[in-house]
């Protein structure tokens, strides 16, 4: 570190910021929201968690906004955010964020039904089998747990969000530098 600091200050005539400078493994260094893991670029843990929090802000509980208005706001943010991180090599991180968006929206759809009977009728109306709809709607689960049940996911599948509601999905694209969508990166 001392020799690098001398080179930068003497030869390049630059000032080294002591707070931001350190010697560490590449997986522990964040640069512009990205990190390097096993020689590949990934979204840093801090940026990933910040995106998850932003999704939560864009999909608040008990809001007066319509679903289509919420999806427009999500698309606007996600288009720019995912374009910035498109250079990363782990689309599984984007898959997780997209899944989180859909789950938040499903949770909101469950909550909008106001009663278990209304939820049951909505699930049946959306093509869910009577027994499966009853098991989900009349269970003791709260809205977040219900948003991840088979019945609710069948009533509001991923295809419904993308094709009918216009939710933006970037992971259906292919890029030559992307790894397999199932390959997960472990961030520290």
**Per-residue pLDDT reduced to its tens digit, 109-151:** 999 998 999 999 999 999 999 999 999 999 999 999 999 999 9
pLDDT in tens, 32-88: 888 888 888 889 989 999 999 999 999 988 788 899 999 999 999 999 999 999 988
CA distance 58 to 53: 9
DSSP 66-94: -HHHHHHHHHHHHHHHHHHGGGSS-HHHH
Which residues contact residue 161 at a Cβ distance below 8 angstroms, ignoring those fewer than 6 apart? 71, 102, 105, 167
Residue with tokens 């996600």: 78
Two tokens, residue 71 = 């999806």
Question: Which residues lie below 8 Å from residue 28, measured CB to CB, with a gap of 6+?
Answer: 35, 188
């Amino acid at each position: 570190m001392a020799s690098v600091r001398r080179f930068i200050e003497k030869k390049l005539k630059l000032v080294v910021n002591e707070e931001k400078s350190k010697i560490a493994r590449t997986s522990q260094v964040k640069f512009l929201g990205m990190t390097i893991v096993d020689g590949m670029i990934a979204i840093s843990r801090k940026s990933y968690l910040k995106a998850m929090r932003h999704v939560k802000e864009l999909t608040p509980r008990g809001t007066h906004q319509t679903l289509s208005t919420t999806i427009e706001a999500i698309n606007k943010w996600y288009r720019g955010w995912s374009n910035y991180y498109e250079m990363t090599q782990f689309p599984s991180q984007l898959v997780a964020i997209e899944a989180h968006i859909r789950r938040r929206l499903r949770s909101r759809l469950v909550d909008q039904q106001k009663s278990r009977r209304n939820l049951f009728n909505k699930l049946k109306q959306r093509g869910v089998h009577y027994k499966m709809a009853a098991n989900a709607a009349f269970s003791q689960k709260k809205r977040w747990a219900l948003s991840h049940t088979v019945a609710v996911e069948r009533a509001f599948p991923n295809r419904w969000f993308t094709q009918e509601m216009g939710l933006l999905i970037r992971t259906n694209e292919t890029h030559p530098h992307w790894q397999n969508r199932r390959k997960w990166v472990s961030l520290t």
